[in-house]
Chain A
Amino acid sequence: MENFLPSQLIERLAQIGEADIVVGIPSYNNARTIGHVVRACSAGLAKYFPHRRSVLINSDGGSKDGTPEVVLQTELETESLLLVAPQRLHPIQRISTAYHGVPGKGSAFRTIFAVARQLNAKACIVVDADLRSIAPHWMDLLASPILEREFDFIAPYYLRHKYDGTITNGIIYPMTRALFGKRVRQPIGGDFGFSGRLAARYLEKNVWETDVARFGIDIWMTLTAMAEGFRIGQSYLGAKLHDAKDPGADLTSMFRQVVGSMFGLLETYEEVWKNVRNSEPVPMFGLPFDVGVEPIHVNVERMIKAYCQGVRDLQEIYAQVLEQETRDGLVVCSRQSPTEFRMPDELWVHVIYEFASAYHRRKLDRQHLMESLVPLYLGRTASFVLEMQEADAARVEERIEQLCAVFEAEKFYLMKHWGAEARKESSHAKPA
């Protein structure tokens, strides 16, 4: 038993004994939306797993808006939700507990992993507390491949707006695919299903004081499962709609945590990704269907301005990290007119691979390194938005596939820079 669990929770888990399915919901001030998530999960468990022992646990970060109370008091209204009387042998147990450790999503997940292990759960599901599009069938799609088909990790597959998820589309998905060879479309989707043995494996790792304890948890879970050879699939969940809660806020720290965690994992699993050559699709569950997505607003002008300022003001930092040719390419981009602004795929891939190598070789303080990548990411995002203005969803997917192909083709470039000699560092240390 992990000693970080509160004694009250340990007692409650001892009373419950064992469970087949554990559903975890991390939260912080989500009183407005978590009721819907709890209802959808409970209805899904009642409908698809009526004979399984299920526990729903809310791992809360000290909400001030009564989130735990909402979790415990939400009425299930199962009959009206499912149109049938529930035939459950075991009632769904609901727990709300405060997690301990570094404040963040990863710490909340750690408590959920520990609960799953303590209850000897066969399958575990985690879903965000601010989801507006979650439906009962998500439980089936995330847990059944684990319970019935012996999969270990099920990633979500969503339909999203063409401009949504730009870190996923521009960095995480292409790089995950190129390096680890598995085409998991939403590696940081946030809503996952995984086996009890994978939860136990996660708990063995000593990462809970790093950015993994924050937003880095999603990429860490996915890459750990991939790199350690667990059986991976993905399930089609339809649209992903979040509660609109200041999405532009604190991009820098979120970016640092997610992309930095990924770069860190490249070190951990260096021997794995260096031996992967091509990528392959992973099994998909669920029936893909079209859904309408909400219109979104993107301020391209602000992004281009941020990019140009970064290229101008951060020259000295980029000189320590990037090759001369790459820096020249960035300067050329910054001189384009805002309407014709484009960043070529190859240039972007080189930027990411050179930053990943610099992270590995500690050319700069790692926090500074990741923060200096943000303006370039905004430039790439602006380029993508401008290029895809008139494109439909299928064309956007094609375009992302093209980018993935460049990431895969240029993998040798990362390998070349990854192992470069230290003397090379000083040869391009002077600013342009």
Chain B
Amino acid sequence: MQNLLEKAFVEPFQRLAEQLAAVVPALVSLVVILLVGGALAYATRRLVQRLLQMVRFDQFVAESGLAGAIERARLFRSPSDFGARLAQGVVWVFVILFALMAMPSEMTQSLVVRFVNYIPDLLAAALVLLLGTIISKFLARSTLLAAVNAQWPAARLIAGTVRVLVLLLAVVMALEQLRIGQSALLLTFAILFGGIVLAAAIAFGYGARDLARDWLQAKLRSRERETEETFHHL
């Protein structure tokens, strides 16, 4: 009877206690890591924000034209706030990875290793996307101003096309970096880009030849009128 009681009640509790004894330290470590990591992430955010303000990051981003997009997104107060929260997020990712490493499970550890190996690619892709966004906005604005000052009627359309194409290129490059559908994406982009150019050429040459002729004539007339002007601006 005593043997039965031991088998029915004591042994399971002993096994539970043994398992808890193995897991509890890991759980305590997890909680401690998350708490310390949270504090570290918060401190990083404050530090990065202060550093970015010191190097006038907001002004730099404002000049690049990206500030408008950040403000319109209404998620962040300013570009430096965005940068600081990004840094905080990165610290959080590392804290979570570190916490998972503290767990005694083989599965979590292999997951962490795979993720860590993937981090350089993720960072490179993020950088490509960020640069692509900045460059596309800058080039689109340069194109818009040049087209408006040359009095081209479709200035905004031209600027928008430039922006989309540069962004598209950045997205394809980022996805290639992440090894997602490499050849298919590249092929799609090439077909799409080639298609746009071909369509534009055909449209301009055949479909819109009257428009092309009128536009060229108008441009030549406007050039003639410009040279007719004989006053000096300075």
Contact = CB atoms under 8 A, between A and B. Distances in A.
Contacts of B110: none
A254 B62 CA distance: 25
Nearest to B222: A302
Interface string A420-432: 0010011001100
A364 B65 contact: yes
A363 B62 contact: yes
A313 B157 CA distance: 10
B232 A247 contact: yes
Nearest to B152: A309
Interface in B61-89: 62-65, 67-68, 71-72, 78
Contact of A314 (B62, B148, B153): B148
A166 interface: yes
B155 A165 contact: no
A190 B229 contact: no
Interface in A406-431: 422, 425-426, 429-430
Contact of A426 (B78, B151, B226, B233): B78
A251 interface: yes
A258 B145 contact: no
Contacts of A255: 233
Contacts, number: 110
B42 interface: no
A166 B149 contact: no
A385 to B, nearest CB: 9
Interface residues of A, number: 53
B228 A299 contact: yes
A242 interface: yes
Interface in A204-248: 215, 218, 242, 244, 246-248
A306 B62 CA distance: 26
Given A302-B222, A313-B155, A426-B78, A296 B231 contact: yes
Contact of A298 (B62, B148, B155, B231): B231
Contacts of B148: 306, 309-310, 313-314, 375
A70 B83 CA distance: 61
Given A294-B230, A429-B67, A430-B72, 10 more contacts: A247-B232, A297-B229, A302-B225, A305-B151, A313-B148, A314-B144, A362-B62, A365-B64, A366-B63, A375-B149
